[in-house]
Structure formats: structure tokens, C-alpha cells
Structure 1
């Protein structure tokens, strides 16, 4: 992975362990309760549309949302997708 400029990324929530390894690892969460389409959104730690604390599960620190989505599926969430707002931020 290519190291990133940490100062440019300061507004983001990141993992110190990831920073030490030379990349920014974001905190990711999955919505516990499915939306009206039966889907569970995966959100980064700085998402303005983060679910309420009682409706989210911490997945871990990852360098991409795709990895967090995979972990959510491995935990048994059947229909999982990346949050739209996280993907455009």
C-alpha cells in the first residue's frame, strides 16, 4: 500500500495502528437493523449518517469499505452494502 499524508487526512477517524504501518485504517460499523429493503449499510467512523449507537456494530479498522463489507457478511449480515454517503465523502 502507498503511504498517505496523515495531515491531509486529519478530519477522518483513523487507527493509530494503521498509521504506524503506513496507511490510514478507518473505523467501520454495520447497521444492526436492516432498512426497508432488508439491507445493512456499512459506515466509516466519520459518516454523518452513522446509525444510533444502539443500532450499530463495530466491525474493526480497515483500509477499505469493501473489506468491512466482507467482514459484515462473514458475521451473518446477509444483504450488506457500503453507505452511499461514505462512498461520496
Structure 2
């Protein structure tokens, strides 16, 4: 199912920006997130984010993007 994906503007303790789907309970507030776009999966969203923001690192949210969560 396609959804809008966003990444948290603040990095986690491992230096990654956490990727969330729009329906995630842990989606950051609007002022602290950047839209990635409408994608089919978290892996597609991360690929797009890596292409558009090559200097940043990304990880999937444990709760909404678990297949992409690396820890």
C-alpha cells in the first residue's frame, strides 16, 4: 500500500534520520520532519531519500517501517 513518507530532521543516537509513514503514531511534528514523498514501501522511501539527500543516513521506524529498521 502506498503512503506518504517523511524523515525526522533530528538524527538518532546512531546518526540516522528515522523514516516514518504518514499514518505512524510516532510521526514527528510538522516542523521537525521532511517529506520524502508518496512511495510503495519504506525501502522505496529510503532509496528516494538517499538519492535526494546523499549526505544523510536513514533508518526505518521500528513501529511503522519495521522491514527497514536496522536498529
- TM range, smaller chain: 0.7 to 0.9
Runs of 4+ in 1 over 6 A off after TM superposition: none
Give the structure with the higher percent helix.
1
Among 7, 15, 22, the alignment partner of 1:45 is 22
> Could you state the TM-score of these two structures normalised by the residue count of structure 2?
0.80
Greater length-normalized contact order (CA 8 Å, ≥ 6 residues apart) = 2
Where in structure 2 are there 5+ consecutive unaligned residues? 67-71
Q: Which has the higher strand share?
A: 2
Output the CA distance in 2 between the equivalents of 1:70 and 1:82: 11
Q: Which runs of 5+ in 1 are unaligned?
A: 1-23
